[in-house]
Amino acid sequence: MQALHEEISDLLSDEGEDRFSCPQEARKKAMDFLARREYGQTELIRKLADRGYDRSVAEQAVIKLTAEGLQSDQRFAESFVQSRINQGKGPVRIRLDLGQRGLTDAVIENAIEQSEADWQDLAREVRRRKFSAAKPLDFKSKAKQMQFLQYRGFEQDHVQAAFNGE
């Protein structure tokens, strides 16, 4: 009787491929990832490659999933934007994070526009949650709050509105 690992390797070697160079295996793994949450195309390819799949096989599998509508950069971007808005992040930070995930500027801008977020109101709310509704009494406190909002990714006009719109 063959050892278990020999039986498994025989099954894999029937087609002369290991599972990391098999497009069907890469597709199944990509679908597993997509079942949990949305991914951008670049991020999904990188995730498969990090798991040991050949990069060309990963690209082929993800491109096919995109063509079938199972993976969408636009859907991922919209979901990502909404989750970051819920975390109190501003548009500058969101653009940066999406750019690092390999999305095009057009997809990023479209997703931010689709969110229809009121960035000034969000900046006000984030400031209130962190520092209370009272306006800062001195310059040092105001500078600290402004720096915090800028770090969160709000533009200068959003930051100003957070202090003027009380």
Domain ranges (residues) in the chain: 4-67, 73-115, 119-164
CATH architecture designation of domain 119-164: Orthogonal Bundle (1.10)
CATH architecture designation of domain 73-115: Orthogonal Bundle (1.10)
Is residue 94 within 8 Å of 112, Cβ to Cβ? yes
State residue 7's pLDDT score.
54
State residue 16's pLDDT score.
42
What is the band of 43 on the pLDDT scale with cuts at 50, 70, 90?
Answer: very high
More confident residue, 6 or 102: 102
State residue 76's pLDDT score.
96
pLDDT score of 15 more than 80: no
Spatial separation of the C-alpha atoms in residues 83 and 79, rounded to whole Å: 6
Q: What rounded mean pLDDT belongs to the chain?
A: 89
73-115 with 119-164: one CATH topology?
Answer: yes
pLDDT average, residue stretch 149-156: 96
State residue 86's pLDDT score.
96
Q: How many helices (H) and strands (E) does the chain have?
A: 10, 0
What is the C-alpha R_g of the chain? 23
Is residue 145 within 8 Å of 127, Cβ to Cβ? yes
State residue 19's pLDDT score.
76
